[in-house]
Structure 1
Amino acid sequence: MDGQFWLPAKPDRKIAGWVTFSPTAGGSLTLLDSFEGIDNLDSPRPDYSRILGESIHGGLTLDDCRLEFLNLFQRRQRFAVGTLLNKAHYESGEAVETDRLITQISDLMLWMLDGVPALNFKPEQLATGKIPLVKEHSEHIDLGSGARLNLIHRLALSTGVGLLQLQNTTTPQFEFDTPVDLDAALEHAFDLLDVVTIAADRVVAFEDVTFSHPGLLMRGESRRVAVGLHKQWRAQANPNRKQLISDRTAFTYGQLGGGDGLRRLLEAVRNHRALTRQIIRPIYDAAPTVQDSFFTRIAALEGLDKQQHGDDIHLRKRLKRLAGNAEASFESLVGDGDAVERWAKRMVALRNNIGHGDPVPLHQSAAELYEMSDAAYWLFVLNLLVEANAPADVYTHLTTTAPRFAFLRRQIRRHF
């Protein structure tokens, strides 16, 4: 995106350049001149954390910028860009706030198919050709503290040369009673992203994110400006993934109980937000080591039990207590009888060996660490579901149909 760029403190010093942004690689700004010169080498370096710009599409705000390359003689600069806001200017120190955040999440509509009212056109509309361009249904979910999630399900008719197409979409829109910091609004969007990743049992990702503010209007109009938000997101959907169907999920939206079930599960995630991010991080990371995945997840389980009870007991007892919360669902994974006890002992031994450097190292294969880490993940998920009072259909589908759960059940019992 070509344009003119300047520092908020020096709006008269505009430099031509271009900015690129990728959700996987992040952003880069290249300038055809430099904000610094040979004649001021002894001066303090300017504050580059925020750079403003203007393109043919509107204003640009580049946040979390970092100088990567500087050639004073050829007058060139290049910056890494952490966040790009398209169609808005925010001056130095000005907070970025919103009361409406709109997202698009990959595979969300497919995951929700069995739990939303069918949007169909009436037979007489099809017979007469009087088909509305859009048919819409919304679900409203209270997130507490003045925040709401509106799920907008839309069936749209698109036309073109020789083309007539129906398209189903689901758009999550987060609304707040009063404007909040953009990062705080995004935390609610990340909660939904985590829930759908858990439920769909695959990485889902933001495909588009925009936000607005009641004080940010289109010039000469009462309509709001939709500010495009571009960041280097940790979660990246597999471009070669198979189409999502119910038999490939951990559980579906309908099995969860629709909007009310989603509200309860979002609340459970919100109650343990940092730990949920921790337990799911190895799924989002491109190539985590099995040691890091295991250690991250067993620490999350320990933290979850501490949040639930606040006492000081041995890790093995914490794991058994968490397994007791999940009861038969977790036993269906590791086995019944004394299997939970044996699993907990092995988890503690592996943790001590990796984290504490036990003098007598255990033999531990990559396969064992990977599979025991996955068991920790599912135990955490089961505890979230228990806290959310999930319906029995969720546990039935997860323990009998979900492919990854079934595969782990066949593999894990050889390790303890």
Structure 2
Amino acid sequence: MSPSGGIRDEPIEVLGKWWLPETPDHKVNGVLTFTEEDGARLQLNDALRPNAEVVWDDTQPDGTRVGHVTSQSLQHAGTYPRIVGRADNESYTLEDCFRTRLRGSLGLGDAAETVHVNAVLRGIEFEADEAFEFTSATVSLTQLTAWSGINGITVEHHRVAPGANDSPTPFVTVTASTVPTLEVPFDGGSVRLLHRMSASPQIPNVMTITQQARVQVSFDGEELRPLPDFVARVNDVQDLVTIATGTTAAKHHFQLTHPDTGGPPADYFVRWNNRATTDTYLHSTEMLFTLADLGTDGLAAWLKTATTFQSELRRITATKYQPSMFLEDRATNLMAALDSLTRHGKKKPGNFGPRITAAIHEVGEPFLTLIGGDDAGWTEHAKQRRNDLAHHNVGVLETSSSSVQLTREMYWLTVLLLLRRAGAPAAVFDKIGRSSEFTFLAEQHAAQRAAAPPS
């Protein structure tokens, strides 16, 4: 990938030699492919496991040898925790792989197979039993550059009078400067927002300058840590940007640093579930709130809160990342998150209804305005919906406008509750309350309330 990165991970299609780390002398030719939509696949023109691992020879009394293939050996032959390879002068490590198709006779020297690959690491070759650990991770997120407000490009348009071209006259002056790194600590490490710039090769009539904000996660002491530790911290930032922008802040250009690379970071490719649905640049005025509204201290507080309520946060944002999620599944995720959030830190949490009312008042504005101040009515409606979902009552699969509206309101109650507990400044809540999305929801709530029959 180019230094500037893109908003999509590049597709891969490389021909190389591939082998299992434990049998380095048995190398197989094959093509590795990867796309964001389909993930990674390895097409091999021979069996990846040597015949000796699949066929066991027994020597008979007369000296003849008979080969045996068992169901256990066939199952073992198609499971590959790790595959390594070399293609286009690059080292590769393929993680968590398994065979999806076999052609020919396994164990007899004429087999070919197709292998599903869950993750691709380009730039380093791991040993068979080496832990999949790193010292830092750096990733780009859709809309992060706009949300963060990190900008090193200024443009000055000069007024040029007609006919004033007798001598060179500036028309546009573009200044591109790097922006200092913003570092935000969390317990045991730090998140950095890096500013990266690149320029396309200059040709006579076009030159493009690109800038990008990237998230870098590292832990104290630069010690090796498992990949999930880094992904969890990246997800905390990703969830925040997704909430703040109202669009999926998809990961791309994911890189991992390891002491053995001895050069640039290794590129990590995986089929992320939460992929961006649009590449359209979102202006900061279209966002619910920005980093400038939240502040650096607010970002640090968010990271701490996200660690405490990580499971709840993932449930909440899952309803944003999965557009095809059924309405009842959205409601169930949000109800579970709300239930857990309102139980936190309480030895005797009490009943669901009073906890919801308390959560509404903990959030305060702008949620009270959204529901017209009717905390008791909203609590009763939410409690009934929860009971319907829990007991599979009639209407649990209802997709009426009322059910859709309630689910959207539940989303905002949980989000605002997390932001309150993170100590987000008043500017964040003020901007959310004045946003077009929140205003629309308030209008819909009022209209549905006015149309509802008297209780």
- TM norm structure 1: 0.88
1:193 aligned to which of 238, 258, 263: 238
Answering whether residue 209 of structure 2 is matched by residue 175 of structure 1, we say no
Offset of 1:131 from its aligned partner? 8.7
Identity rate of aligned residues, in percent? 23
The amino acid of 1:13's aligned partner reads H
Tell me, in whole angstroms, the C-alpha distance in 2 between the residues paired with 1:107 and 1:290: 27
Pairwise CA distance, 1:279: 0.8
Distance in 1 between the 2:231 and 2:347 partners? 29
CA distance in structure 2 between the partners assigned to 1:118 and 1:391 by the alignment: 26
C-alpha deviations, 1:6-46, integer Å up to 9, x for none? Answer: 12221111111111112232211111111355855226223
Residue 394 of structure 2 corresponds to residue 345 of structure 1: no
Q: Kindly tell me the number of residue pairs found equivalent between the two proteins.
A: 399
- From the superposition, tell whether residues 8 and 158 of structure 1 become closer, same or farther in structure 2 (CA, over 3 Å): closer
1:39-188 matches, cutoff 5 A: 39=55, 40-42=68-70, 44=73, 45-46=76-77, 47-73=79-105, 75-113=111-149, 116=150, 120=154, 134-145=177-188, 147-154=189-196, 156-161=198-203, 162-176=205-219, 177=221, 178-188=223-233
Aligned equivalent of 1:220: none
Distance (Å, rounded) in 2 between the aligned partners of 1:91 and 1:57: 18
Secondary structure of residue in 2 paired with 1:12? coil
Give secondary structure in 1 for the equivalent of 2:344.
Answer: helix
Structure 2 equivalent of residue 10 of structure 1? 23
- Please tell me whether residue 387 in structure 1 is matched to residue 421 in structure 2: yes
Deviation at 1:343, TM superposition (A): 1.1
- Which of 256, 271, 276 does residue 237 from structure 1 map onto? 276
Q: Structure 1 residues 75, 256: CA separation in 2 closer, same or farther (over 3 Å shift)?
A: same
Unaligned residue ranges in structure 1 (runs of 5+): 218-223
The answer (yes or no) to whether the contact 2:342–2:349 under 8 Å persists in 1 is: no
Does structure 2 retain, via aligned residues, the 8 Å contact 1:32–1:76? yes
- Alpha-carbon spacing, 1:412–1:261, altered in 2? closer, same or farther (3 Å): same
Q: Distance in 2 between matches of 1:248 and 1:55?
A: 44
Compared with structure 1, are the counterparts of its residues 51 and 156 closer, same or farther at alpha carbon in structure 2 (3 Å cutoff)? closer
Q: Please name the residue that 1:246 is paired with.
A: 284
- The residue number in structure 2 matching 1:214 is 259
- Hey, what does 1:412 align to over in structure 2? 445
Distance 1:117 1:361 in 2: 50
CA distance in 1, matches of 2:38, 2:132: 23
Amino acid at match of 2:88: I
Supply the distance in 1 between the matched residues of 2:173 and 2:43 (Cα, whole angstroms). 52
CA contact (8 A) 2:152 2:178 kept: no
Match of 1:272?
A: 309
The residue number in structure 2 matching 1:371 is: 405
1:270 to 1:58, Cα distance in 2 relative to 1, 3 A: same
Q: 1:294 offset after TM fit, Å?
A: 0.6
Contact 1:60–1:89 at 8 Å: present in 2 too? yes
Letter paired with 1:318 = R
Does the aligned pair in 2 maintain the 1:398–1:405 contact within 8 Å? yes
The equivalent residue for 2:164 is none
* Paired letter, 1:82: N
Q: 1:267 to 1:311 in 2, by over 3 A?
A: same
* CA distance in 2: counterparts of 1:281 and 1:363, whole angstroms: 19
1:232-276 Cα offsets, whole Å, 9 max, x none, are 11111123x54312332111111112x222111222112111110
TM-score, normalised with respect to structure 2:
0.81
Q: Given the superposition, is the C-alpha separation of residues 20 and 368 from structure 1 closer, same or farther in structure 2, using an over 3 Å criterion?
A: farther
Contact 1:137 1:154 in 2 (8 A): no
Structure 2: where are the runs of 5+ without partners?
1-13, 56-67, 158-168
CA distance in 2, matches of 1:249, 1:347: 28
The one-character-per-residue Cα deviations of 1:139-194 (angstroms, maximum 9, x if unpaired) are 1111121x111212245554510223333321222222222111111111111111
- In the alignment, is the contact (CA less than 8 A) between 2:15 and 2:87 conserved in 1? yes
- Structure index of larger Rg: 2
Q: Cα–Cα, structure 1 residues 285 and 226, in superposed 2: closer, same or farther, change >3 Å? A: same
Shift of the alpha carbon at 1:99?
Answer: 1.4
Structure 1 pair 61/157, CA: closer, same or farther in 2 (3 Å)?
closer
- Summarize the Cα distance change of 1:314–1:41 in structure 2 as closer, same or farther, 3 Å threshold: same
Aligned mates of 1:363, 1:232 — CA distance in 2: 30
Distance change in 2, residues 1:122/1:394 (3 Å): same
